[in-house]
Structure 1
Amino acid sequence: MTVLNCCLRTFLPAAWLLAGALTACQSTVGEPAAGPLAAATPSVALVAADSIKTASTLPDSLQLTPVLPLPNLPDSVRQAVRALQTKLGPEAADLRAAVLEQACVGYLTLRHAGRIQHGGVLAVADMDLPSSEKRLWVLDLEAGRVLHHSHVAHGRGSGHLRAHRFSNVMKSACTALGFYRTQDTYGGKHGLSRRLHGLDAGQNSNAESRYVVLHAADYVSASYVQQHGQAGYSRGCPALPPDQYKAIIKSLPEGSCLFLSGPGVESKWLNTEAAAQQLAARGWR
């Protein structure tokens, strides 16, 4: 990102930052179309004090939240992840090493546990990056190449340019972090869509009830991002660009792994021992 772009995005007019807030994603029946500020302060009756995770940094600061390397990660896994990142090349230059490490460990652990049936492909979204940036990668792990690299929206309850609030709660309009298994596809109001099943209890396990799916949205198009300086907001869905969504959805067949990374993400699937066992037994398959 150039210094000029950083400055422009830091001082974007408020009207630009709020643009697209009324564009709806799939949601529960009867959910009001509240704006981003209303969604950011859900009622006490709906949200427990610890049900929303908030980053310590300012909402629209471009300073990323540090991601620490996983402790006690066997050298075999660490070296395999480093080799993978090298093979991925320049298209994955903005995919932070620690985020890729978490994604790979979770993927391997889920494969070891039989929770991910389709191996060899992994989708990673670093939701700590601003929505002005392409922050979703779909990776072919065995070939070591980037299949797709695109913008992806966060929920309007999660913040403006930067997502800093995450929730699993109904009607929060927030993005929920963690590991997901892709489900079946259907034709919805946004065209081809793929259902998602949250695999982290308490963190994204309400995904199906909240109708969190992969789908297309005009507010994630390149022209929208160029005009407004950022993507628009969903109601919690990782919405995709209209010119890429079909290819991305088809590259993640039912039973594939999607990881939404962000500040405060926690997962029981970050099991370094199980990941090492899976890698030794089957590699990235």
Structure 2
Amino acid sequence: MNLLLRLQSVPQSVGKPLYLAAMLGLLALLPSCQTSVGETTSAYSAAKRPTAPATLPDSIGTATELPDSLRLTPIPVLAGVPDSLHQQIQALHASLGPEAAELRLEVLERACVGYLNLRKDGRVSKPGVLAVADMDLPSSEKRLWVVDLAAGQLLHRSHVAHGEGSGHLRAWRFSNVMRSECTALGFYRTQDTYQGKHGLSRRLRGLDVGQNDNALRRYVVLHAADYVSKQHLARYGQAGYSRGCPALPPDQYRAIIKAVGEGGCLYVSGPGLESKWLDATVAAQQLASRGWR
């Protein structure tokens, strides 16, 4: 059960500050994601994360610091990007308008380079549509964008959950390991849809070997979740946690699942991500010969 939900059910006689301290102590003893091939941890480790703490909502009672930094992790400059490609991506970013202001240009550039490489390689088949999730942003922010590349338009922007094993307000651990309950970074191909326990869902195939290629086996899918609803966000100030799925708001998931379609490209960005699909030379050649399609 979510710690915040537990706090609300604590009898007044116990005292919520005392109960919170006990729960945090127990949480420290719980096993986390296993250190294994396919797991990355961001540069702000558990020891460094408290540099800019957030607080629990006032409705909980006494404000308590959370071990989550709100300082975004710097993104290294992508090597070898030709000026022509960089300028076109800059123009695309500008055309998306104010709703894309928090979509960092460095994240969009990597997403576009990967999309172009994947299109050239035939790994994604739906042309002109790119979904980007910046999991370095806190879950309180709308950090998923769906872009029509050819039209230079933003189709959707929404909140999106990260895995419970990845962190709290900020995700800082990412894993491809089975049963880790972590978000896995990298490029995904959107697969077919089905009706599951969350209703309409779309399967995801991880395209980065060792980083997210267990997605189908882990049942990592796009689906709706009440813990990403407006009501949950208003009450707790952030999204809840999935078991690794990029879960979506109930009032937007159908439109987003339809927009990305089958054979589309989803880029899940976060600290420490490396991908074979970030070849800027190939991307520039693809854009010059075929455009965004």
Length-normalised TM-score, structure 2: 0.83
Q: Does 1:252 align with 2:260?
A: yes
Cα pair 1:18 1:160 within 8 Å, conserved: no
Cα separation, 2, equivalents of 1:158 and 1:115: 27
What is the aligned partner in structure 2 of residue 23 from structure 1? none
Cα separation, 1, equivalents of 2:142 and 2:30: 24
Residue 215 of structure 2 is aligned with which of 207, 217, 240? Answer: 207
| 1:201-259 CA distance string (max 9 Å, x none) | 00000000000000000000111011101100000000000000000000011100000
**One-letter identity of the residue aligned with 1:149:** R
**One-letter identity of the residue aligned with 2:42:** A
The secondary structure found in structure 1 opposite 2:165 is helix
Q: Does 1:73 align with 2:81?
A: yes
The secondary structure found in structure 1 opposite 2:119 is helix
Q: Does 1:41 align with 2:32?
A: yes
Residues 229 and 114 (structure 1 numbering): CA distance in 2 closer, same or farther, change over 3 Å? same
Residues 204 and 18 (structure 1 numbering): CA distance in 2 closer, same or farther, change over 3 Å? farther
1:36 positional shift: 7.9
Cα separation, 1, equivalents of 2:172 and 2:215: 19
Q: Does 1:282 align with 2:251?
A: no
**One-letter identity of the residue aligned with 1:98:** E
Q: Does 1:198 align with 2:206?
A: yes
What is the aligned partner in structure 1 of residue 190 from structure 2? 182
**One-letter identity of the residue aligned with 1:41:** S
Cα separation, 2, equivalents of 1:17 and 1:99: 34
Residues 79 and 18 (structure 1 numbering): CA distance in 2 closer, same or farther, change over 3 Å? farther
Cα separation, 1, equivalents of 2:237 and 2:179: 27
What is the aligned partner in structure 2 of residue 133 from structure 1? 141
The gaps in structure 2 that reach 5 residues or longer are 8-25, 50-66
What is the aligned partner in structure 2 of residue 26 from structure 1? none
Residues 76 and 103 (structure 1 numbering): CA distance in 2 closer, same or farther, change over 3 Å? same
Larger Rg: 2
Matches within 5 A, 1:3-82: 15-16=3-4, 41-42=32-33, 47-57=34-44, 58=49, 60-82=68-90
What is the aligned partner in structure 2 of residue 27 from structure 1? none
The gaps in structure 1 that reach 5 residues or longer are 1-13, 20-34
What is the aligned partner in structure 1 of residue 14 from structure 2? none
Cα separation, 2, equivalents of 1:40 and 1:86: 44
| CA RMSD, 1 decimal | 1.9
Q: Tell me how many residue pairs correspond in the alignment.
A: 253
The secondary structure found in structure 1 opposite 2:111 is helix
Deviates more, 1:67-76 or 1:242-251: 67-76
Cα separation, 1, equivalents of 2:73 and 2:32: 22
Matches within 5 A, 1:90-109: 90-109=98-117
1:51 positional shift: 3.6
Cα pair 1:36 1:159 within 8 Å, conserved: no
The secondary structure found in structure 1 opposite 2:96 is helix
Cα pair 1:39 1:173 within 8 Å, conserved: no
Cα pair 1:183 1:255 within 8 Å, conserved: yes
Residues 101 and 235 (structure 1 numbering): CA distance in 2 closer, same or farther, change over 3 Å? same
What is the aligned partner in structure 1 of residue 251 from structure 2? 243
Residues 39 and 275 (structure 1 numbering): CA distance in 2 closer, same or farther, change over 3 Å? farther
What is the aligned partner in structure 2 of residue 150 from structure 1? 158
Cα pair 2:39 2:211 within 8 Å, conserved: no
Cα separation, 1, equivalents of 2:30 and 2:189: 26
1:68 positional shift: 1.9
What is the aligned partner in structure 2 of residue 31 from structure 1? none
Residues 279 and 158 (structure 1 numbering): CA distance in 2 closer, same or farther, change over 3 Å? same
| Greater RCO (CA < 8 Å, at least 6 residues apart) | 1
